[in-house]
Chains A and B, each alone.
Chain A
Amino acid sequence: MSALALIRSGTPQGAQPFERFVLTAEAWAELPAALLAEPALALLGMWAEPGVVHAGFLDEESGAILFASAPAEGGRYAALSPARPGAIRFERAIRDLWALVAHGAVDDRPWLDHGRWGIAGPMSGNPAPRPGAEPPQPEFLPVEGEGIHVIPVGPIHAGVIEPGHFRFHIQGECVVRLEARLGYKHKGTLSLMLGKTVRAAAAFAARLSGDSTVAHGWAFAAAAEAALGVEPPPRAVALRAAMAELERIHNHLNDWGFVCNDAAFAFPHARCGFLREGVLRACAAAFGHRLMMDRVLPGGVALDIAPGGGEAILAALAAVEQDIPSLLRIYDSHASLQDRVVGTGFLDPGHARRFAAGGFVGRGSGRRFDARIAPGYAPYDLLAPAMAVEAGGDVDARVRVRIAELRGSIVLVRRLLMALPEGPTLAPLPARAGEGAALVEGFRGECLHWLRLDDGGLIRAVFLRDPSWLQWPLLEAAIEGNIVADFPLCNKSFNCSYSGVDL
C-alpha cells in the first residue's frame, strides 16, 4: 500500500481544513517503508500528546496536506527518520517533551532537554522529578581524519543574535562537519498554552519567533478559526495579509543588509537598515506596534488600521522601492562582494527537496513551494502572488529570492490597502470543541499550526512548527567544505529562528 493510502486507511477525525487520520500502531509501523517508496510525500513535522504521536505531510504532487496519528504503545512508536531525515530533530524533541521513544530512530540523543529543568518529560502527563542532577555533557557526532580540530562556538555569540551552540570540526580552513546544538531558549511554550482559550494562547504564538510574529499569529488564528468554524471578517483578512507582507519586507531588508555586512561590505547594511526603520515606523503609525505583535487575534485583528496609517505605509514603501534598483546595482557591481556570496554555502537541491525546506532556503535551491500559492489561502487566492525561485543554491541565490519577494510584497501591500474591504475587524468566537490546522507563509517559510480544543473551547493539544525545523539541518550540509570565515555569511543567508524551534 502506498504511504498516502496507508494514512488514508486510518480513522478520520474531522479536523479542518486538513484531515487527520488515526492509524493503528501496526499501520504506523509500515509507514517508514512506505515513505521510502514514495519520495513525493514530504514530512512537514512531528509532535505528540501523552501516549500519541502525530505527523504532518504534504503531497507535493497534489498539494494536499494531511495528518497521521498513532498510539505509542508502551511509550514507543516506529521512527520515521530512516525514511525522512527531517524527522530526526522532531523525534528527539518528542522524547524530551512527551517521553515517547522512536523505535529504530537514526539519532536518539537528547535535543531540547539539557538536563536542567528539574523534571523529565514535562509534557508526558506524568513528568518524572530529576532534582539537582548534574547536567550531562552533550555528545557530538565524531569526525575522523588527519589534522582535524574542533572549534566550539556559543551558546552566547559575538553579535546581537540568539543563543545556540555550534560545534565545528575543521581541517585547515575548511569545515569538515558542523553540528548545531540548540534548545537553549526552550521556554516551555507549548505547555503554557494548554488549558487556555485560543484568545489567551495567541500571545504565545505571537512570541514563538518575534521576527515572524504576524505569520505565526496568523497561522495560529487560522487554525483556531478552522477548529471553531469561524470565518474572520474580510477586512481583517486583508489587514492580516498587509501586515504579513510588511513583515516580509522588513525582514528581507534586514537580511539583505546583514548578508552584505557579514562580507564586510557596510553600505547596503546601512541603507537597508534605514529603509527598514522607515517601514517599522510606518507599521507603528498604522498598527500601533513596530513589529505588529499581538495584532492578529483568533477571529480577526485586534485593531483596525489607524487613520493616516495607510499613507505612512505607502510613503515608506515608495522609499524602499525607489532605492532597490540602485542597491541592487551596487550589490551586483562589486566584485569583492560577489566573490563572497556567489558559490558560497551551496545547498544541493536534492537536500532541499528531501527535507521539504520552505522559504528562501528551499526556493533558493529550486524547490517550488510557497504556501500562499499552494495550498493557498485568502486573500492570496485573489492576489495571485508570483513565486520567486532561484536555481543557484548559494548565498547569492537566497539573497536574490529575497529581493524578488521584496518587490512582490510591495505590490501586494499596495493592492491590499487600495481595496481594503469595509466592515468589522473582529468576529466573536464560540466556546466549543474542534480541531484545526493552518499553513501560513511567513518571511522564512511556511508556519504550520495545529490545535485541538475541548468542549469548553480550551486548548487540549497544540503544536506550532516554525519553518526553521526543516532548514537548520541543511545549514550543516551547506557549510561543508566552506571556510570557517564564511560561516556568518551562510548562517545569515539561512537566518533560521532559534526561538522558533526551541519552543
Chain B
Amino acid sequence: MRAAHPMLTFAVRRLVAMVLVLFAISVLTFLIFQVIPDGDPALRLAGKFATPQEIKDVRIQWGFNQPIWVQYLRMMEQIFTGKVISYTQQVNVVRQIGEDLPATISLTVGASVLWLIAGVALGVVGALLARRGRVARAADRLLGAVAMTGISMPAFLLGDLLLFYLGFKLHVFPLGGYVPLTEDPVGWLTHMILPWISVTVLFAGFYSRVLRASILDTMGESYVATARAKGISPRRVMVSHVLRNSLLPIVSLWGLDFAAVLGGGALLTETVFNLKGVGQYAAESTQRLDIPPIMVITMLTAFLVVVLSTVTDLVQAALDPRVRLR
C-alpha cells in the first residue's frame, strides 16, 4: 500500500492538534473564570440596583443556573455562530472584535516588517563585526548593549516615554488613539508611527541577538568551510550559505510573534497608545471579569499561532531540506 503523502499527513496532524489546543484553551479559560466567587455574571448583568428577583430572572434568562458543562456548550455554540454577547457591555463580541481588528492589523503589519528589518540588520552587522578587529568588536558590544536594553524594556515604559517626549513635549505625534486608514491616511500614519516604533524596539533586539548567535554558529559548520575551500567568494558564502541557514530560527520566531500580536498579544502597547484594538479589548475585558470576549480572543490568538506556526514549518522545510515535516 502506498503511504499517504507526507504533506497530507502533516496537515491532518496539525489540524487535529489545533482543534485539541483550542478545546483545551477554551475549557481552561472557562474554568478560570468559573472559580471566581464574587464573579457571578448575573450580578453584573442585572445592574447595581437590581432586586433579588431581577437577579434571579437574569440568571435563568442567561442560563447561569444550569450545570457548568451546559453553560460551556452554550457559550461555544454562541461563539461559533457569531452570536456571543459580552456580559458587561452586552454587545456582540464577534462584531466588536471585527471593529477592533483594523487597528490591531495596522499595528501588526507595520511593526512586524519594521522589527524584522531592524532585527536582521542589527544581527548581521553584529555578527560581521564580532569577527573583526578590536574596534569592530567594541562596536559589536555596543550593538549588543542596545539590543539588551530593547529586550529588557517594559512595553508601557517605552510607550509612556515616547508619548511624553515626542507627543506632549515636542508635539510631533498625536497623543494616542487610532484613525482608520480609509478615513484619513495621513492621520492613520501619524497615529501608528509611535506604536510601531515601540513594538519594534521591543522585538528587534531579541531578533538581532538570536540571528547574531545563529550566524556565528553557522560559520563554524563544516559545509561553510567546504564552500570556502572550493574558492567561493566570501560574500557569496555569507549570503547563500551562512545567512540562508541562519535565518531559519528567525523565520519561525517571526511567524509566531506576528500571530501573537495579531491575536491581541500586544495588550500593553495597545493600552498605552489607546489604539482600541483587540489587545486593549482583551485587557479591558479581563479587568471587567467579562468572560465571553476573553474566550473569543484567547481562542483567536491560539488559532493564529497554530496556523502561522504551520506556515513557518512549511517555509522552513522549503528552505532547509534537512527539516522534515512531522
User: A and B from one assembly?
Assistant: no
Interface residues of A (CB under 8 A from B): none
